[in-house]
Amino acid sequence: MIDTIYIPTLGRHARQITFDNMTPNAQAITTLVVQPKEAHLYPKYPTMVLPADDIGITETRRWIYMNSMDIKYAVFDDDLKFVERTPGGPKSKKPMDSVGWNYLLNKTSDWLDEFAFSGFRQGNLPPAGKDYLTTAGVNCAFFFNGNKLPDESELDWELSTTEDISMVLQLFQKGYNNRIWDKFGYLSNILVDGGCNEWRTIELINDNHAKLIQKFPEYVSWNGIKENVMGGNFKKIKIKWKQAYLDSQKSKANLLDFMQ
């Protein structure tokens, strides 16, 4: 079973979109991760308090990672709604219900006996035609088996945004594979007030995109510009998720051949 779902949150004590849209059986294992300066603002929610204020989302994720190495857990953004695809139904998708959450949590736990991490595909993407994808990109909503992950000191936690992309590519490069839900997905609005938007700017995002390309030149490249995003031009990137994992397996095979 999944032991804990963590939701890091900042500046949204009056609007907990993710938690409030989860069903009671999912909420029962969910904890908000809050900064000390906001701990008093969540009397009706289960909380875990970070060791310091204003440490940023990357350091927050690193702290959760460090303190969850012996459990199966999830980390969700705080502005998500979860949906289940309903092929052949009156609508293409519906909000996840308690039956869906129970199935997802149990099945994902089973997956994490084999895979180091898992997650949701975006719910507004075209359906993949199957319940899940193996070796795929994921952000915003993750599951991890802490017992299967590398030590946090083995990962680069430098980037202040795009931390999800950086982590996934690093795990793939180290040979850790994943399985991602398409039957279940998340919907998100990254422009909601609060959270990372209290300090994240379009310039910072573009700068970290450039750093991603520097760190992963074989797998990340520029992919055009989207105008009028957060008051500026959003420099899009293209990511070769699967290639990062496949290359790790080639390197492993080459090493084994060399040692024989």
pLDDT in tens, 18-42: 999 999 999 999 999 999 999 999 9
Q: What is the pLDDT of residue 231?
A: 86
220-229 and 141-145 beta bridge pairing: unpaired
b/e string for 240-252 if b means 16 or more Cβ within 10 A?
bbbebbebbeeee
Over 90: is that where the pLDDT of 259 sits? no
Provide the 3-class DSSP secondary structure of residue 155. Answer: coil
User: Exposed, middle or buried by CB within 10 Å (0-12, 13-18, 19+), for 183?
Assistant: buried
Over 70: is that where the pLDDT of 256 sits? no
| CB of 217 closer than 8 Å to CB of 247 | no
What digits encode the pLDDT tens for the residues 170-187? Answer: 999 999 999 999 999 999
- Residue 251: pLDDT band (50, 70, 90) is confident
Residue 142 CA neighbour count, 13 Å, CB half: 24
Provide the 3-class DSSP secondary structure of residue 102. Answer: helix
- Residue 230: pLDDT band (50, 70, 90) is confident
**Which domains occur in the chain, in start order?**
4-192 (3.90.550.10)
Over 80: is that where the pLDDT of 97 sits? yes
Q: What is the pLDDT of residue 225?
A: 95
- If we measure between CA atoms, which residue out of 53, 48, 44, 52 comes closest to residue 11? 53
